[in-house]
């Protein structure tokens, strides 16, 4: 039993249960009102129940409409906004042959494709389209009516002797197809009859949808069912030779369409009537504002350090355009690594990110901006950080076996540990990364003289300890 069928049964059971529950509440309210206010007339009391029933119907309709999910099962999504790219997860981009970009039904330039009726088409891969259950949805605007007994094919998946298709015909195939229809095959010379009463007027937009579920083929024009035919237990037949998927022509490159085609949606499942209506009228879903946040990897940034910036957006598929002090950056991902300039005084860096969204078959939220001002500090003498290190300020490298090395406690627990020791002229006389070997008081294989030696201890680029070390003999 198909999963969609089970889901629909569960939904129907749930809705009936909700309605029965609400009606029982209505009866209870009737009795309660009569008991508390016995002087009220029955017609007045019944207003309560009537109002509750109306509210229940509205509530149940909203529950049913909430099942519209136009992204579930999407395997082809062609908005034709400047190209024939597929914006579904399959990314089955089309190859355009002759068709020209044209105005769509909203008046947007270069947002639909126009076909000349002779040798124009768009071809896509059929690999993910040879299905037993599916849905096709497309908008079409014919430039010409088909000649009597002929048809123009708008979409076709198949090969010789069999395909699944949507067409515009006039008494085509022995009067089996007039107007917008389909004639999907279930075997050689075995196809479905679907016909409207007449050929629709040309030069206007129509929404067409073909749904194949486990039992039936159903065809819609502008949200209205034209025909529904039982599959009689048979599966869709895709012909006997090389299978092709064509937009604007049949799979053999013939019977081409004259007109414009736009906003094709292909699904690997049967759509519901509410979903068909949503594709025709536009989904009646609340617009959720998209938000974003700019995060910084460091709470204090010292001049000359590198810092990582990241934008987190509540909607995936975002495009990020970065500006640093009003200068556009080449980075377009959500993260930016920024090397700050070494200066002797504090300064600021202004970050601005414009967040927009890739075009898809569905309405996208408007772009938005996030910005932040970074405070860059001159850290010539930065404050020490509290750490787990314990650092002695004196040692005696006199080889008496006591306190002969400068032992730093808990050094192994400090990430990226780096140690510098200087002489009084500022020359580095000792450097260690990780401090795996303790300093024994030597510089260039000679013991240093007694005295005070400045030291600095860093964790990565961060100063965690500084002071003076006494060497005594």
Report in angstroms the alpha-carbon separations of 12 from 24, 60, 65, 208, 273.
18, 10, 13, 27, 14
User: How far from the centroid of its chain's Cα atoms is residue 46's Cα?
Assistant: 49
Predicted confidence at residue 223, as pLDDT, reads 96
CATH 2.60.120.200 fits 74-281, yes or no: yes
Predicted confidence at residue 230, as pLDDT, reads 96
A 10 A CB-CB count for 391 gives 19
Distance CA 232, CA 214 (A): 10
**For 294-377, which CATH class?**
mainly beta
Q: Do 294-377 and 74-281 fall under one CATH topology?
A: no
Predicted confidence at residue 421, as pLDDT, reads 92
CATH number of 394-471: 2.60.40
A 10 A CB-CB count for 254 gives 11
Distance CA 13, CA 2 (A): 17
Predicted confidence at residue 36, as pLDDT, reads 52
Secondary structure class of 240 (helix, strand, coil): coil
Question: In sequence order, what DSSP letters do the residues of 296-342 get, joined into one string?
Answer: ES-SSEETT-EEEEEEEESSSSEEEEEEETTEE-S--SSEEEEEPPP
- Mean pLDDT for each consecutive 10-residue tract of the chain (473 residues)? 41 48 51 51 52 48 61 94 93 97 95 96 98 98 97 98 97 93 94 91 98 97 96 96 98 96 97 95 64 88 89 78 91 84 91 85 82 90 57 87 85 84 88 90 92 90 86 88
Report field, pTM of the whole predicted structure over 0.85: no
Predicted confidence at residue 316, as pLDDT, reads 67
Distance CA 170, CA 152 (A): 9
H or E stretch covering 430: strand 428-433
Domain locations along the chain: 74-281, 294-377, 394-471
């Amino acid at each position: 039993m198909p999963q969609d069928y089970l889901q629909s049964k569960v939904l129907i059971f749930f809705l009936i249960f909700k309605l029965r529950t609400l009606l029982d509440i209505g009866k209870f309210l009737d009795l309660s009102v009569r008991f508390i206010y016995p002087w009220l007339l029955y017609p007045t009391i019944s207003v309560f129940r009537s109002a509750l029933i109306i509210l229940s119907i509205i509530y149940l309709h909203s529950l049913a409409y909430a099942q519209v999910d136009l992204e579930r099962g999407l395997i082809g999504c062609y908005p034709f906004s400047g190209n024939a790219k597929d914006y579904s997860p399959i990314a089955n981009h089309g190859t355009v042959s002759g068709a020209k970009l044209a105005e769509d039904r909203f008046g947007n330039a270069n947002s639909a494709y126009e076909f000349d009726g002779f040798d124009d088409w768009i071809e896509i891969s059929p690999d993910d389209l040879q299905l037993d259950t599916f849905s096709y949805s497309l908008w079409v605007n014919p430039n010409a009516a088909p000649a009597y007994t002929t048809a123009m094919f708008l979409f076709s998946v198949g090969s010789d002797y069999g395909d699944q298709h949507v067409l515009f015909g006039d008494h085509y195939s022995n009067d089996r197809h007039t107007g917008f229809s389909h004639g999907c095959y279930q075997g050689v010379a075995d196809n479905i009859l679907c016909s409207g009463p007449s050929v629709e007027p040309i030069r206007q937009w129509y929404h067409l949808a073909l749904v194949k579920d486990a039992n039936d083929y159903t065809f819609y024009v502008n949200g209205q069912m034209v025909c529904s035919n039982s599959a009689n237990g048979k599966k869709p037949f895709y012909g006997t030779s090389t299978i092709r998927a064509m937009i604007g022509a049949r799979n053999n490159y013939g019977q081409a369409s004259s007109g414009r085609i736009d906003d094709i949606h292909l699904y690997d499942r049967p759509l519901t009537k509410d979903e068909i209506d949503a594709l025709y009228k536009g989904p009646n879903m609340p617009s959720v504002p998209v938000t974003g946040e700019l995060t910084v990897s460091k709470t204090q940034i010292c001049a000359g350090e590198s810092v990582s910036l990241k934008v987190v957006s509540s909607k995936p598929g975002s495009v990020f355009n970065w500006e640093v002090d009003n200068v556009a950056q080449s980075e377009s991902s959500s993260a930016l690594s920024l090397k700050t300039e070494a200066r002797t005084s504090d300064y600021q860096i202004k970050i601005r990110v414009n967040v927009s969204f890739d075009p898809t078959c569905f309405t996208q939220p408007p772009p938005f901006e996030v910005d932040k001002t970074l405070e860059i500090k001159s850290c010539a003498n930065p404050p020490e950080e509290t750490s787990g290190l314990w650092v002695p300020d004196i040692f005696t490298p006199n080889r008496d076996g006591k306190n002969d090395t400068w032992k730093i406690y808990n050094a192994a627990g400090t990430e990226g540990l780096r140690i510098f020791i200087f002489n009084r002229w500022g020359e580095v006389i000792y450097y260690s990364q990780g401090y795996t070997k303790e300093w024994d008081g030597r510089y260039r294989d000679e013991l240093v003289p007694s005295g005070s030696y400045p030291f600095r201890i860093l964790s990565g680029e961060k100063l965690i300890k500084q002071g003076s070390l006494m060497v005594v003999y």
